[in-house]
A and B are shown apart, each in its own frame.
Chain A
Amino acid sequence: MDEFILIFRHEDGGKVASPEQMQIWMKQTMDWIGGIAAQNKFVSGTGLPFDESNRVVWHNNVVTNGPFGDIKETIGGFVIVKAVSVEEAVEFAKGSPVLLGEGNSVEVRKIAKEEDHQ
Chain B
Amino acid sequence: MKQQELIPHLFRTEYSKITAVLCRRFGFEHIEVAEDIASETFLAAMESWAYKGLPENPVAWLYTVAKNKAATFVNRNSIFQEHVAKEVVGTAEEYMEIDLSEKNITDSQLQMLFVICNPIIPVESQIGLSLRILCGFGIDEIADAFLTNKETVNKRLYRAREKLRQERVKIELPDGKEIESRIQSVLLTLYLLFSEGYYSESTDSVIRKGLCLEAMRLTYLLLENRQTNLPAVNALLALMCFQASRFDARLNVNNDFVLYHDQDENLWNHELINRGILFLNKAAIGKVLSKYHIEAGIAYWHTVKNDSIEKWKHILQLFNQLLVLQYSPIAALNRTYAFSKIYGNQAAIAEAEKLNLTTNHFYFTLLGELYQSVDTDRAKENFDRALFLAKSVSDKKIIQDKIDKLISDCE
Contact = CB atoms under 8 A, between A and B. Distances in A.
Interface of A: 27, 30-31, 33-35, 37-40, 42
B332 A39 contact: yes
Contacts of B317: 27, 30
Nearest to B342: A31
Given A30-B321, A33-B324, A38 B355 contact: yes
B145 interface: no
B323 interface: yes
Contact of B324 (A27, A39, A42): A42
Contacts, number: 43
A33 B351 CA distance: 12
B327 A40 contact: yes
Contact of B332 (A30, A33, A38): A38
Nearest to B313: A27
A37 B324 contact: yes
Contacts of B354: 35, 38-39
B336 interface: yes
B81 interface: no
B13 interface: no
A33 B356 contact: no
A8 to B, nearest CB: 17
A35 B335 CA distance: 9
Given A39-B354, A39-B355, A30 B327 contact: no
Interface in B285-342: 313, 316-317, 319-321, 323-324, 327, 331-332, 335-336, 339
Given A31-B339, A34-B319, A34-B335, 17 more contacts: A30-B320, A31-B316, A31-B320, A33-B320, A34-B316, A34-B320, A35-B339, A35-B351, A35-B354, A37-B332, A38-B331, A38-B335, A38-B336, A38-B351, A38-B354, A42-B323, A42-B327
A34 B337 CA distance: 13
B295 to A, nearest CB: 15
Interface of B: 313, 316-317, 319-321, 323-324, 327, 331-332, 335-336, 339, 351, 354-356
B320 A39 contact: no
Most chain B beta carbons < 10 A, residue from A30, A31, A38, A39: A38
A20 B324 CA distance: 24
9 contacts: A27-B317, A33-B324, A34-B316, A35-B354, A37-B323, A38-B332, A38-B335, A39-B332, A42-B323
B297 to A, nearest CB: 14
Contacts of A27: 313, 317
Contact of A39 (B313, B316, B319, B356): B356
A60 to B, nearest CB: 39
Contacts of B320: 30-31, 33-34, 37
A15 B317 CA distance: 27
Contacts of A31: 316, 320, 339
Contacts of A42: 323-324, 327
A37 B322 CA distance: 9
Task: List the 10 closest pairs (A to B, CB-CB), nearest first.
Answer: A34-B320, A37-B323, A38-B332, A40-B327, A30-B320, A37-B324, A38-B335, A38-B323, A39-B354, A34-B323
Nearest to A42: B324
A17 to B, nearest CB: 19
Contacts of A37: 320, 323-324, 327, 332
A30 B324 CA distance: 9
A13 to B, nearest CB: 24
Nearest to B354: A39
Contacts of B313: 27
A27 B356 CA distance: 25
B238 to A, nearest CB: 22
Contacts of B327: 37-38, 40, 42
B324 A40 contact: no
Contacts of B335: 34, 38
Contacts of A38: 323, 327, 331-332, 335-336, 351, 354-355
Contacts of B355: 38-39
Contacts of B351: 35, 38
B355 to A, nearest CB: 6
A33 B320 CA distance: 7
Contacts of B316: 31, 34
A40 B321 contact: no
A42 B327 CA distance: 9
Contacts of B319: 34
A31 B351 CA distance: 11
A39 B320 CA distance: 11
Nearest to B320: A34
